[in-house]
Structure 1
Amino acid sequence: MMNSPFLHSMSRQRQVLCALLFSALSLQVGLVQADNAVIVEVGEAREQQLVNEVPISGSVSASQIALLSSQVAGLVQRIHVEAGDQVAAGDLLIELDSELAEIALDGARASARSAREAQADSQRRFDEAQTLVSRNAIAASEVRGLESQARVDAASVQVADAQVRQRQAELQRHQIAVPFDGTLSRKLVEVGEWVTPGTDLLELVSTEQLRIDFQLAQRFYPLVEDSATLSIRFDAHPQRRFTGKVINKVPLSSSDARTFLLRTQIEDADQPLLIPGMSAHATLRLAEKRRGIVVNRDALRRYPDGRVSVWIVADASAEEGENQTVRELQVETGLSFAGQVEIRSGLEAGQTVVTRGNETLRDGQAVKITDTESE
């Protein structure tokens, strides 16, 4: 194998030639980059009131739910509804066999008539006795006895009338009517069953003024104000979001879950079709008691090792459209809300940050600003 000085010289020449070619290409690339600045959009880091957005889950609840029952014992004779029926207050739902109650009412009415007859007779005899007193034709003690009997018979009429009203009320209780407008969610009895007072017959749910209930961690209780708003989404309407308002926060914390109940209602004029028990997801906006620096969330660059940074325009005083340079700043983030992110450290209010086109930037990179986000 030949190892001559000629071959060694050729190798050295090739190395020098490659180095010169690499330098030339690097210079050319640098010139191209200088002439072709990266097009970016920017925004301003600004100080403002911070908002804490809390994701929560809950469900739709009805303002009224009732298990309807009978006040008297009896045999179910007729059922006029089925589960799922829409009913209005006063509608007849169930009738119990009322034959015995009707007989008892007839007997009470007969007793009342008899009592009135007896009272009318005793009053007539007392009136006649009074006409005889002036002629001394009757003993005074006998007159007092007739007067006492008239009072007793009058009281008997009152007792008989009360018994009639009692029998009427008992008869009326053999019919179960709707106490409020709503939908029958369950039918729990059938014709021919014997029921007693307190037996569940039907379940009635009001579909008016539905509420959305959420369970929140107790640490948020002092932060929830009457003016707090929510962005609510339902599984049944996944493409829409609705604005909710706080109706009430129940000041009772669950000892097990360490939560409290937040009751809300939809504010939108176009109310969604909801049913009790439907699941709901919301974002609750809570005003913080402090101010902070925020930037558009698109300005953040997150790295696998956990670092978060933003790119700032080094010379923010240059005119729009002129080439400028950028540099990277590592930051610490805080709250996120409405497309904004709090910057706790690493950035000052008023600095210009890159919000679009920041994916491949390098320190000292030339950029051209084409648009600035509106405030």
Structure 2
Amino acid sequence: MAHLSRPWAFIVISLFSLAVYADDLTPVSTTLPKQSSIAQTLSLSGSLTAEKRALLSPRVDGLVAEVLVDAGSEVKKGQVLLKLDPAISRQQYAQSQAATAEAKAARDEAARLVKEAERLRKQNYISESEMANRLSNLALSEATLVAMQAAQRSSLEQLRRHELPAPFSGVISAKMTEAGEWINRGTAVLELVATDLVRLDVKVPQERFSDIDKNSPVEVLPDVYPGQRLPAKINAIVPVSDPQARAFLVRVVVDATDISLLPGTSATAVIGLKGKAGQKLIVPRDALLLHPDGGYSLFIVDNGVAKRRQVSIGQQSQDGVSITSGLQLNEHVVIRGNEVLREDQAVTIVNE
């Protein structure tokens, strides 16, 4: 076969090299940072507490027959947690049932005698005095029946109070009694905390009082879940400053519907402050790469080459993450394909 001339061979080799180079380009998607008007954030640490917490005590005095839960048990509202020995109350309830039945029988007999007297009175076989006497006995027997029925309901309620139900759903955090102990009303036997709503109380420096209100954006970073940022809102601001700490209390309610937070653990509240500071840059969360030391970086594309930028982040929101340093407004930030990028790697932008 005839050899290609040198010019044609050079062209073929160049085209082949370009094809190989194009195949080596890593496809990425990019976006430009957005600007945010959030001035700055304030990070404060505190302890998570349950929005609902109750020390449960029995509703009647009695001997503990059975404790149905232990510390750490998850319970639902209305679930029976503890039972007292109901032997005496059960007997009293049986007596009230018998008394009610007796009163009902007496009322029925009095009603029968009245009907009989009405028939006999028409034939003038009994006097008006006897008729009135029978009507009086019927009224007394009906009143007695009503009283016995009320006593029966009271006895039933007393029997039911030998069981201690959960007033709300949550977790038993402490158990202070066992079967066989005698307990009185008002004696705490169980501690119940709700875990669906938790709050974080933080002390804010007094000089920041004018920079925070109930509409300030807040996120909570629980220490038991590193990297998690949970949405929250300020529930209360107590304007009475602590004279020793020169701080006031801010209560933050955490939205923990997708995660289980433990009351008593520590967390950090990141509060967006009001002010006239310069605007911050916002990038999507997918652009950020988390380092083992807790720092963050991202890649930008400069003339078809990936460049890593070490960045500092601020508050996170639905719009993305604010970048406080390390990024310029007009730089193209990689949001897809950044997981496998290396410094100075050639890339091609394939934004949809």
Normalised-by-shorter TM-score class: 0.5 to 0.7
**C-alpha distance in 1 between matches for 2:269 and 2:95:** 63
**C-alpha distance in 1 between matches for 2:261 and 2:110:** 68
Greater displacement, 189-198 / 128-137:
128-137
Match of 1:203 in 2: 191
Amino acid across the alignment from 2:52: Q
**C-alpha distance in 2 between matches for 1:48 and 1:126:** 89
**C-alpha distance in 1 between matches for 2:150 and 2:229:** 56
Instruction: Write the mapping of 1:340-355 to structure 2, written as runs, cut at 5 A.
Output: 340=324
Greater displacement, 112-121 / 131-140:
131-140
CA shift digits 1:151-188 (9 cap, x unpaired): 11001101111111111111111111222221111110
| Structure 2 unaligned spans of 5+ | 1-34, 282-313, 316-321, 332-352
Candidates 165, 168, 174, aligned match of 1:180:
168
Match of 1:194 in 2: 182
Q: Which has the larger radius of gyration?
A: 1
Instruction: Write the mapping of 1:27-42 to structure 2, written as runs, cut at 5 A.
Output: none
Candidates 274, 283, 286, aligned match of 2:273:
286
Offset of 1:205 from its aligned partner?
A: 1.4
Pick closer, same or farther for the CA change 1:84–1:161 going to 2, 3 Å: same
Candidates 238, 254, 262, aligned match of 1:275:
262
**C-alpha distance in 2 between matches for 1:171 and 1:97:** 10
Amino acid across the alignment from 1:208: D
Match of 1:54 in 2: 42
Offset of 1:96 from its aligned partner?
A: 0.8
Q: CA RMSD in A?
A: 3.1
Candidates 72, 82, 87, aligned match of 1:84:
72
Match of 1:253 in 2: 240
Match of 2:330 in 1: 374
Matched, 1:147 2:147: no
Offset of 1:118 from its aligned partner?
A: 1.1
Instruction: Write the mapping of 1:2-13 to structure 2, written as runs, cut at 5 A.
Output: none
Runs of 4+ in 1 over 6 A off after TM superposition: none
Q: TM-score, normalised by structure 1?
A: 0.61
Pick closer, same or farther for the CA change 1:164–1:173 going to 2, 3 Å: same
Pick closer, same or farther for the CA change 1:111–1:206 going to 2, 3 Å: same
Is the CA contact 1:119–1:153 (under 8 Å) kept in the aligned structure 2?
Answer: yes
**C-alpha distance in 2 between matches for 1:48 and 1:65:** 39
**C-alpha distance in 2 between matches for 1:128 and 1:163:** 31
**C-alpha distance in 2 between matches for 1:100 and 1:73:** 12
Match of 2:341 in 1: none
Is the CA contact 2:233–2:254 (under 8 Å) kept in the aligned structure 1?
Answer: yes
**C-alpha distance in 2 between matches for 1:141 and 1:222:** 87
Match of 1:28 in 2: none
Greater displacement, 139-148 / 149-158:
139-148
3-state secondary structure, aligned to 1:152 = helix
Pick closer, same or farther for the CA change 1:222–1:161 going to 2, 3 Å: farther
Pick closer, same or farther for the CA change 1:225–1:231 going to 2, 3 Å: same
Match of 2:103 in 1: 115
| Structure 1 unaligned spans of 5+ | 1-46, 297-335, 342-354, 356-370
Pick closer, same or farther for the CA change 1:130–1:98 going to 2, 3 Å: same
Candidates 148, 152, 156, aligned match of 1:164:
152
Is the CA contact 2:36–2:280 (under 8 Å) kept in the aligned structure 1?
Answer: no
3-state secondary structure, aligned to 2:262 = coil
Offset of 1:52 from its aligned partner?
A: 3.6
Matched, 1:262 2:251: yes
Q: TM-score, normalised by structure 2?
A: 0.65
Offset of 1:213 from its aligned partner?
A: 3.0
CA shift digits 1:238-268 (9 cap, x unpaired): 3x1404331412446355555133223247x
Q: Name the % identity.
A: 28
**C-alpha distance in 1 between matches for 2:106 and 2:114:** 12
3-state secondary structure, aligned to 2:274 = strand
Is the CA contact 1:242–1:266 (under 8 Å) kept in the aligned structure 2?
Answer: no
Amino acid across the alignment from 1:98: P
